[in-house]
Amino acid sequence: MTAPLNISRRTFIKATALVVGGLVIAFNIPNAKRFLLPGAAPEKSGADAAKLPAPNAFLRIGTDNTITAMLAHSEMGQSIWTTLPMLIAEELDADWSKIKVEHAKAAPEYIHTAYGIQITGGSSTTWSEFDRYRQAGALTRALLVAAAAAELGVPADSLRTENGFVISGDKKISYGELAEAAAKLETPKAVTLKQPQDWKIIGKATKRLDGPEKINGTAVFGQDIHFDGLRTAMVAHAPVFGGKVKSFDASAAKKVKGVENVVQVPTGVAVIANNYWSAKQGRDALKVEWDLGANAGLDSAKMLEEYRGMAAKEGLPAAKAGDTGAALSKAAKMVEAEYVLPYLAHSPMEPLNCAVKIGADGCEIWTGTQMQGTDQQAAAKILGLKPEQVQIHTMFLGGGFGRRANPAADFVSEAVQVAKAAGVPVKTVWSREDDVKGGYYRPMFLHKAKVGLDADGMPVAWEHVEVGQSIMLGTPFEAFQIKDGVDATSVEGVADSAYLKSVPNHHVSLHTVKASIPVLWWRSVGHSHSGFAMESLIDELAHAAGKDPLEYRRALLKGHPRHLAALNLAAEKADWGKPLAKGVFRGIAVHESFGSFVAHVAEVSVNKGAVKVHRVVCAIDCGLSVNPDSLKAQMESSISFGLGAALQSEITFKDGMVQQSNFHDYKVMRMADMPKVEVHIVPSTEKMGGVGEPAVPPVAPAVTNAIFAATGKRIRTLPIGNQLA
Amino acid sequence: MITLNINGKEEKLDAPEDMPILWALRDIVHLTGTKFGCGMAQCGACTVHLDGQPIRSCVTPIAAAVGKKITTIEDIQNDKVGQAVQAAWQEVDVVQCGYCQSGQIMAATALLTTNKNPTDADIDAAMSGNICRCGTYPRIRAAIHEAASKLA
């Protein structure tokens, strides 16, 4: 196909000569797509916007034949370090062994094609970049071919490309040799992309490009940044959210060998030392008197009781059809249930950290971030700089799961404040305890549902009330995500559920709780609770109707072929309905999120109250799979993440304080609990969806539905913990 | 001054005796392949070998390593088992974010050094102290079996 480049996602492409030689391809996003944060510089005019920071590039060909792909998104385990270069290499006919990868800087040309800010999230990287990175490859190839045609004095259409060379009969010219000449040529107005049947790389299982350096210890994460003069800082945070420093005594801290300075910052008191151990000991020795503020009485158990009270009444409407009240009163059978999900910490393996060096006319930041856009603007605001004076070096992220994409730019802002107050380059390092207690949790949610069934056991009336904190409230995303008081991410997976489309009378409403606990998107966002509520409830309805849970879902999902494709594939591969080993039982769940459809069948036994998940069979329809092996890895990853949380994880509050502190009491998945995982991909040419998150929501209900099959006990509160003991 | 033997090299360190090996490696010698994850021997990201035994370097003071040999991820390719483990990790394409993998590889190398053909239960016992939030556990298991078969 010939893609008119200014139509697809309204992307402009231009080629720019790079000062160091070679060829650079850049894309400029029109200003209309830009997303402005409060306090940011006003929107620039088109003329100003053309002066983009250098090197504004997605792809660089060196005269040594290396091809460097610049990632607009952050590698945090999801393998875009490999997937995005695959898109370039496919169209470029590149030599895969010559591919190198870099994180791009924070700059307007790397703004997300759909979200309008530089961000990695929403399981969106591959689908949102599918056109842009292929076009970069195709455009570069066209320029190299044109340069070769000029050099050889032959028509461009007589040339072909293969494995990093332009070929004319028995002559071959490498891309590296052509790069400088190609950089001087005028950019084509359009490029022809390959037809899927001609793909050699897209759709093929491809090994990770970042594998070797992550196996031999040379991969550089934010935590590993070191340069002469860089100090380590640890900040003492208030034990209660919103608490303030009343006074502090740094005399003992300053006696610790290696401690150089102690400074107050807006988030607490920072101890600056020449190594972590000294900073930690200094912080332990620091005496701070806190004004705990209004949240000193915070208690999550009491909050849950308040949530229950609120759920007794209708909230703000999120979805409605028919007359639910009247239909409920006429129903042949009624099912009522309440589901409760706790606060959860992301707890990426790499504790949060951020290195900052403030210079005379700018600032450099080294960190693993999912959201360079807001981080850059927050740092600029603190320092009185323009955003382009703040250079962000994105390092490998030791896990993100949403925690490193914070609209409040919390860990970056704090590091900038410390560096500013201390007057030296500083790397702030959070301890694991700082991370577990530091907020920005998946919010606690309560779902209360009342469903009326007809004489055949099918739902005819569905009343659903949710209670929980809003993630988007008070963020720059509020205007887009909150409509008529309802945060779309609070009710996603319920209000837009495929099941409700077959229920003639339904009413979904939301009570948004204004609590002071910082909350954030946690891998799969609202679906992380709605998937559990909906798929548990459907299972309860099937049981009440006396029907097989798979057949019941099939009946309700008629007209939803992608749900059915995933559901049927998982059921078939798991031998649904066939006997299992003694004591082992199956549960099933299917959920749509982030444009993809995932079903799991879990095989579970319960022995003296202990739950053992033996195997999870997963099927996904995400449309095209660019790298089937990294897709499979994301399914394994999501099953581990979702199952670990379902089995054991929760953050609770008492007397204003978080009661957990480290991995001994904030428990996560470990090897011994990990089931066998089998992944099956639905062959699909449907619209591309994401793969990083959509397999998380159906894990917990597949397991608790299996627990119900095994024991007759319905788990309605997560984590499962010792509820079966 | 304390002298430590790190990856076969004698290193003189001006550091307090109670400093954990982890921070001596990372902040003084600048060998950053060994990772900080929890600081209380709960996650295994900091696993190194002390005279061939896997230890959690975040809670082991440098005083305990005097006169012993510390081996880190940076040197494990010089060990026959370590090399096989790294090759298997690459073959199975284990890593995701990669942050815990130095510790996983050090733990797996220690396991295969003492147990040539570990069962799944042996792997559970030896590897459950190493957390991976990305959930690479199925591939770690497969890679350990793969390395065992290559070493056999």
Cβ contact B62:B15 at 8 Å = yes
Q: For residue range A197-250, what is the model confidence (pLDDT) as tens digits?
A: 999 999 999 999 999 999 999 999 999 999 999 999 999 999 999 999 999 999
pTM as predicted: 0.94
Answer whether B37 sits within 8 Å of A668, measured CB to CB. no
Enter the tokens of residue A520.
Answer: 């954030």
User: Which residue out of B6, B27, B99 would a mutagenesis test of the A interface target, given it has the greatest number of A Cβ atoms within 10 Å?
Assistant: B99
User: A261 forms bridges with which residues in the sheet?
Assistant: A272
Instruction: Among A398, A429, A638, select the one facing B97 at the smallest CB separation.
Output: A398
DSSP class of A343: B
Enter the tokens of residue A275.
Answer: 């190594």
Q: For residue range A360-416, what is the model confidence (pLDDT) as tens digits?
A: 999 999 999 999 999 999 999 999 999 999 999 999 999 999 999 999 999 999 999
Answer whether B36 sits within 8 Å of A670, measured CB to CB. no
DSSP class of B24: I
Contact residues, chain B, for A210 at CB < 8 Å? 95, 98
Q: For residue range A416-470, what is the model confidence (pLDDT) as tens digits?
A: 999 999 999 999 999 999 999 999 999 999 999 999 999 999 999 999 999 999 9
How far does B40 lie from chain A, in Å, by closest CA? 8
For residue A42, pLDDT over 50 is answered with no
Q: Residue A90: left (phi > 0), alpha (psi -120 to 50), or beta?
A: alpha
- CA atoms of B40 and B22, how far apart (whole Å): 12
Judged by a CB distance cut-off of 8 A, whether residue B144 touches chain A is no
Give the CA distances from residue A676 to residues A200, A230, A603, A612, in Å, rounded to whole numbers and listed in that order. Answer: 31, 44, 10, 11
pLDDT value of position A56: 33
Residues 417-436 of A with CB under 8 A from B: 429, 431-433
For residue A10, pLDDT over 60 is answered with no
Instruction: Among A217, A401, A432, select the one facing B37 at the smallest CB separation.
Output: A432
Domain ranges of chain B: 2-75, 76-151
Banded model confidence at residue A55, pLDDT cuts 50, 70, 90: very low
Banded model confidence at residue A27, pLDDT cuts 50, 70, 90: very low
The arrangement of strands across the sheet holding A363-367 comes to A259-265, A268-273, A231-237, A426-429, A353-358, A363-367, A390-394
Domain ranges of chain A: 2-215, 222-293+352-429, 300-343+441-711
- CA atoms of A542 and A536, how far apart (whole Å): 10
Residues 60-99 of B with CB under 8 A from A: 72-74, 77, 86, 89-90, 93-99
Fold category of B2-75 in CATH: Ubiquitin-like (UB roll) (3.10.20)
- CA atoms of A49 and A30, how far apart (whole Å): 9
- pLDDT average, residue stretch A288-313: 97
- CA atoms of A142 and A148, how far apart (whole Å): 10
For residue A579, pLDDT over 90 is answered with yes
- Which residues, 6 or more positions from A480, have their beta carbon under 8 angstroms from its beta carbon? none
pLDDT value of position A362: 97
Q: Is A311 exposed, middle or buried (0-12, 13-18, 19+ CB in 10 A)?
A: buried
Answer whether B89 sits within 8 Å of A211, measured CB to CB. yes
pLDDT value of position A22: 59
Q: Is the ipTM of this complex over 0.95?
A: yes
- pLDDT average, residue stretch A581-603: 98
How far does A86 lie from chain B, in Å, by closest CA? 17
Give the CA distances from residue A640 to residues A570, A601, A705, B39, B138, in Å, rounded to whole numbers and listed in that order. Answer: 18, 14, 17, 23, 9
Question: What are the pLDDT tens digits along chain B (152 aa)?
Answer: 999 999 999 999 999 999 999 999 999 999 999 999 999 999 999 999 999 999 999 999 999 999 999 999 999 999 999 999 999 999 999 999 999 999 999 999 999 999 999 999 999 999 999 999 999 999 999 999 999 999 99
pLDDT value of position A26: 52
Helix (H, G, I), strand (E, B) or coil at A392: strand
Enter the tokens of residue A333.
Answer: 């059978």
Contact residues, chain B, for A397 at CB < 8 Å? 97
Contact residues, chain A, for B135 at CB < 8 Å? 636-641, 644, 669, 674
How far does B90 lie from chain A, in Å, by closest CA? 6
Answer whether B43 sits within 8 Å of A663, measured CB to CB. yes
Contact residues, chain B, for A640 at CB < 8 Å? 132, 134-135, 137
Q: For residue range B76-108, what is the model confidence (pLDDT) as tens digits?
A: 999 999 999 999 999 999 999 999 999 999 999
Helices marked H in A80-236 — which ranges?
A: 80-92, 125-152, 175-183, 211-215
Contact residues, chain B, for A77 at CB < 8 Å? 96-98, 134
Pairing of strands A268-273, A231-237: antiparallel
DSSP class of A368: -
pLDDT value of position A296: 97
Searching chain A, which residue's CA lies closest to the CA of residue B95? A211
For residue A12, pLDDT over 80 is answered with no
The dotted CATH code for A300-343+441-711 is 3.30.365.10
Give A16-44 as a 3 state SS string.
Answer: EECCCCCEEEEEECCHHHCCCCCCCCCCC
- pLDDT average, residue stretch A123-137: 93
Helix (H, G, I), strand (E, B) or coil at A136: helix
Banded model confidence at residue A530, pLDDT cuts 50, 70, 90: very high
pLDDT value of position A645: 98
Helix A527-545 × helix A549-556 angle, to 10°: 110
Task: Indicate the CATH number of B76-151 among 1.10.150.120, 3.40.50.1980, 3.30.70.890, 3.40.50.920.
Answer: 1.10.150.120
Cβ contact A220:B33 at 8 Å = no
User: A24 forms bridges with which residues in the sheet?
Assistant: A16, A60
- A-B CB pairs within 8 A amount to 179
Which of A17-21, A294-298, A330-334, A477-481 is predicted with the least confidence, judged by mean pLDDT?
A17-21
Judged by a CB distance cut-off of 8 A, whether residue B20 touches chain A is yes
User: Which residue out of A277, A401, A673 would a mutagenesis test of the B interface target, given it has the greatest number of B Cβ atoms within 10 Å?
Assistant: A277
How far does B4 lie from chain A, in Å, by closest CA? 18
Contact residues, chain B, for A232 at CB < 8 Å? 27
Mean per-residue pLDDT over chain A, rounded: 92
- CA atoms of B91 and B147, how far apart (whole Å): 10
Instruction: Among B37, B43, B138, select the one facing A674 at the smallest CB separation.
Output: B138
User: A486 forms bridges with which residues in the sheet?
Assistant: A483
Fold category of A2-215 in CATH: Aldehyde Oxidoreductase; domain 4 (3.30.365)
Cβ contact A25:A13 at 8 Å = yes
Topology alike, domains A2-215 and A300-343+441-711: yes
Answer whether B40 sits within 8 Å of A662, measured CB to CB. yes
Judged by a CB distance cut-off of 8 A, whether residue B125 touches chain A is yes
For residue A684, pLDDT over 80 is answered with yes
Judged by a CB distance cut-off of 8 A, whether residue A207 touches chain B is yes
How far does B37 lie from chain A, in Å, by closest CA? 6
How many CA atoms lie less than 13 Å away from A198 in the CB half-sphere?
10
Fold category of A222-293+352-429 in CATH: Aldehyde Oxidoreductase; domain 4 (3.30.365)
- pLDDT average, residue stretch A149-156: 97
